[in-house]
Structure 1
Amino acid sequence: MGVSFKYWDDCVDPKDMEAMWKEPEVRTEWIDAGETQGQKVHLSRDPDGQPYLTQIEMKAVADIVIHRHFDSKLDPEMICAIAELESDRQPLAIRYEKKIKDTTIGIMQLLPKTAEWLSGEHGYQSYQVQGIPDLLFRPFVSVYFGAAYLEWLSNFEGKERSEEFVVRAYKGGTKKATHKSTLPYWKRYLSVKESLPYRKICDRPSPSKAPKSPTSPCSPRSGSYVYWDSRVSPEDMEEMSNHPAMSKGWAPFKEKREKMRFALDGEKRPYLSRAELKAIAEIIVSKYFSTRGIKPVVLCALAEMVSRCILDGDGSRPGLMGIDYSTAFWLYMEVGYRAYRVDYVEDLTKPFVSMYFGAAYYAWLSEYEGRERTPQFVVQAYFAGPKKVNLQETGPLWLKFEQALSNFEERARDQESCSIL
């Protein structure tokens, strides 16, 4: 694939950039990030360097497209939830579909021939995509044709269709809209859609849009402390208190253990010390993965690489282990890892929950496609996905992993906090 985007201006028309700047939340987010109107705006990038839209940006694109082209008749949250499931909001996402031997592309993961069909036979011609499939990598174009397809499905065969029919048909085609194979996708969609308002708050907190729930785990950015008992169940808190490293490490604190506070980094974000992280990894492995051969220090090294031990995650991936909501929900629903529930993305900012699903994903990767995999394969697959592993390019990533792993060896030093890799 020869398409590459560094700036929003690389993949958006000037009129669309102007519309984005007029969105109050987008404007605030961009200015807070140091962007200036009239100059190129950087796309956000995940730890692997892939561009993605923030949830605020994604919502803005959906709102603009629906208002401009669909008379505001479609639900923008439907589009946002599908984009979350299909591509994690990555405009350059691609996926080869074995059953149809074709490739879906873009934020909405459409087949180029579907976009051409919608344009040629159904009059959706705001963007001319015939013979130019790469246009679907552009966010506004992908969302436009994704919305067009949803609109067509909503009136399939001249009948007004339910949201469930439309979403399941989007995934599997109209013939699979009521088939059991698309039911898990519908369930994931409902959970993701329900979580969208909370995710928006977690992305960029605002005093005027504070979470209504007093137990919302979105951590404050104002320097307020976050308490362990707000993120850890009483059972897990008991396990931590009884862990040998913690019974010693927490002893100097005068406060009661039920009011233990997470430490804050220089940006006032709660994080775990290496000793705390290692204790959680050891508890999770001993309780749920003792027969899988997973070493707690390996999970700790992954956590240090992906989140720098920051409780809410460092960047686009939530939580200590960087497991996104759709992956955790899939592990829970389809693979059978159900020791912890994941009803909302915020559940993944709870350290034991994130560690559990990180270990579950590591275990699944270790036996990907029924074969025992090497540590190099599993580490690279953890970050890039198993279909994107190229062992000839593991050098820098593997060296970083070995460096992080050395921080958790049985030594007295380096027990205070995580390092910045």
Structure 2
Amino acid sequence: MMAVSFKYWDDCIDPSDMEAMWNIPEVSNEWLDAGESRDQKVHLSRDPDGQPFLTQIEMKAVAEIITSRHFNSQIDLDMICAIAELESDRQPLAVRSDKKNKEPTIGIMQLSIESAKWLFNELGYRSYEVVRNPELLYWPFVSVYLGAAYMKWLSNYDQKERTEEFIIRAYKGGTKKATHKSTLPYWKRYLCVKESLPSRKFFEDGRDVSASASAAPTPPPGSATASPPYASSPPPNSKPTGVYSYWDTKASPEDMEELWSHPEVLKEWTKSGEIRGKVRFSHDNKKRPYLSRVELKAVAEITLTKHFLTKHMKPTCLCALAEVVSLRFVNGVGPRTGIMGIDYSTAFWLYMELGYRAYRVDSADDLTKPFVSMYFGAAYLVWLSEYEGRERTPQFVVQAYISGPKNVNLQETGPLWLKFMQALGNYEDIKNRDQGNCSIL
């Protein structure tokens, strides 16, 4: 790679990202106080050696914008910022060579070109063209985007919910070194750095935004303590007045026609003023798109009728699982992708090995499409129901879906079953039912 040099923020940022930075009050105040102005290029801060670096306010702003835009605001900002401190001292031009690895690591989050290409090609993180232009790794937004993507992958490595310690130590030494003594000092330094970071209050009014990759102190996605942002099916006027996400960009024309033909969906969409070709998702106060319960149940019913008619699966059980793992958010929650929380590797395995090919999965982005996520979620449930050639109980299937089949422990994961049963109550009457007899298939 050629030598790269930046004097201004404008040298290493897209104009839209620059505008997003100016729109964060703490950043604009800091820049204006330093004599910068909107009508001129903004200088990067310099250390005594003349190397550019991001201030802590700039660093947190980049992390907040990236996680909000690409990760549903569900990756802990302090995790990102602490890693940036440790890896590069927040220097976008940092390059480090390792004796064991011939390829250097680059940028604020210290990723190798090989890792960036893997995230781009294999996991579908393609918002920036790092394959064609590896020098983009020096750009703060690109480095944080791919660093966060790697953290998200680590948080559900081998289809297991991982602790914060595992993520951080694996980020340093790889998954094989996550429990090795060689990464323990890095974890201890990380805790000290994270503790010393400025409060995240100015981004989230004091509320922790990390319902995500970190297993502590906030609950992981799908845990018994996670709760939806609304108590009942959202009213029609929950459609936002600003930036929209549209159903039509996330579903095929055939699937959209099925939804329009569904009586309850037709009633809800008509009441909220939707028009064919441009149906808006409901959004929460952070502008995150989610499915109403009417929409979710319709997607489940249509998917089962078209693709799983012989399996006798219940749409209400799929809906309850979606409530637990994604809170009905279109993009998913934390490391779980899409409404059913199916990750790309699992969907690709179901597609290639088990022949579930009604929908293609070319990248992780495909799993943010509700019908695609629902289809592979149902396929995964079918497989789990006969895991290792045995007919499985509903409790096993539900807990295996949420935690992985190798991690089922009826005592330890009991709260997940309780959470599922509570969610099921939103879709069917379970008052007089023996919980142990809840049939899924």
- Rate the CA distance shift 1:282–1:64 in 2: closer, same or farther, 3 A: farther
Residues 396-407 of structure 1: pairs in structure 2 closer than 5 A: 396-407=415-426
| Map of 2:322 onto structure 1 | 303
TM-score normalised to structure 1 length: 0.54
| Map of 2:356 onto structure 1 | 337
Pairwise CA distance, 1:393:
1.9
Pairwise CA distance, 1:293:
2.7
Letter in 2 for 1:67: R
- Rate the CA distance shift 1:376–1:135 in 2: closer, same or farther, 3 A: farther
Letter in 2 for 1:373: R
Q: Deviations 1:168-194 (Å, cap 9, x if unpaired)?
A: xxxxxxxxxxxxxxxxxxxxxxxxxxx
- Rate the CA distance shift 1:137–1:405 in 2: closer, same or farther, 3 A: farther
| Map of 1:28 onto structure 2 | 61
1-structure distance, mates of 2:80, 2:362:
21
Matched, 1:347 2:394: no
Contact 2:337 2:368 in 1 (8 A): yes
| Map of 1:135 onto structure 2 | 182
Equivalent residues, number? 274
Letter in 2 for 1:265: D
1-structure distance, mates of 2:184, 2:417:
30
2-structure distance, mates of 1:64, 1:91:
27
Pairwise CA distance, 1:259:
1.5
Matched, 1:90 2:90: no
- Rate the CA distance shift 1:64–1:384 in 2: closer, same or farther, 3 A: farther
- Rate the CA distance shift 1:255–1:247 in 2: closer, same or farther, 3 A: closer
2-structure distance, mates of 1:397, 1:374:
15
| Map of 1:39 onto structure 2 | none
Pairwise CA distance, 1:255:
4.0
Matched, 1:68 2:104: no
| Map of 1:281 onto structure 2 | 300
| Map of 2:256 onto structure 1 | 237
2-structure distance, mates of 1:284, 1:139:
46
Letter in 1 for 2:255: D
2-structure distance, mates of 1:61, 1:318:
27
1-structure distance, mates of 2:418, 2:303:
26
2:408 to 359, 377, 389: 389
| Map of 1:319 onto structure 2 | 338
- Rate the CA distance shift 1:31–1:267 in 2: closer, same or farther, 3 A: closer
| Map of 2:268 onto structure 1 | 249
Task: After the TM superposition, list the runs of 4 or more consecutive aligned residues in structure 1 that deviate by more than 4 angstroms.
Answer: 19-27, 29-34, 52-58, 60-66, 70-75, 80-88, 91-96, 105-112, 136-141
SS of residue paired to 2:342: coil
Pairwise CA distance, 1:397:
1.0
1-structure distance, mates of 2:80, 2:258:
36
Contact 1:302 1:321 in 2 (8 A): yes
2-structure distance, mates of 1:306, 1:94:
17
- Rate the CA distance shift 1:25–1:255 in 2: closer, same or farther, 3 A: same
Letter in 1 for 2:302: I
1-structure distance, mates of 2:285, 2:96:
41
SS of residue paired to 2:311: coil
Deviates more, 1:275-284 or 1:385-394: 385-394
- Rate the CA distance shift 1:24–1:338 in 2: closer, same or farther, 3 A: farther
2-structure distance, mates of 1:395, 1:403:
13
2-structure distance, mates of 1:352, 1:28:
34
- Rate the CA distance shift 1:400–1:222 in 2: closer, same or farther, 3 A: same
Letter in 2 for 1:321: M
Show structure 2 runs of 5+ residues with no match.
1-51, 68-73, 106-110, 124-149, 161-168, 189-239, 431-441
Contact 1:380 1:389 in 2 (8 A): yes
Letter in 2 for 1:356: Y
2-structure distance, mates of 1:55, 1:323:
28
1-structure distance, mates of 2:57, 2:354:
41
Matched, 1:290 2:309: yes
Matched, 1:78 2:107: no
| Map of 2:390 onto structure 1 | 371
Root-mean-square deviation (CA), in Å? Answer: 4.4
Q: Deviations 1:313-367 (Å, cap 9, x if unpaired)?
A: 1222121111111211121122211111111211111111111111111111111
- How high is the sequence identity, in percent, across the aligned residues? 49
Pairwise CA distance, 1:407:
0.2
1-structure distance, mates of 2:58, 2:406:
35
Show structure 1 runs of 5+ residues with no match.
1-18, 35-42, 46-51, 97-104, 113-128, 142-220, 412-421
- Rate the CA distance shift 1:21–1:299 in 2: closer, same or farther, 3 A: farther
Letter in 1 for 2:381: Y
Pairwise CA distance, 1:78:
3.1
Contact 2:155 2:335 in 1 (8 A): no
- Rate the CA distance shift 1:57–1:246 in 2: closer, same or farther, 3 A: farther
Letter in 1 for 2:377: G
1-structure distance, mates of 2:336, 2:159:
20
Contact 2:398 2:417 in 1 (8 A): yes
Pairwise CA distance, 1:264:
1.2
Matched, 1:225 2:244: yes
Pairwise CA distance, 1:23:
9.9
Contact 1:94 1:106 in 2 (8 A): no
Q: Deviations 1:218-266 (Å, cap 9, x if unpaired)?
A: xxx9940112111111000011111122233323244422221111112
TM-score normalised to structure 2 length: 0.52
SS of residue paired to 1:335: coil
2-structure distance, mates of 1:56, 1:261:
37
1-structure distance, mates of 2:376, 2:81:
23
Residues 204-223 of structure 1: pairs in structure 2 closer than 5 A: 223=242
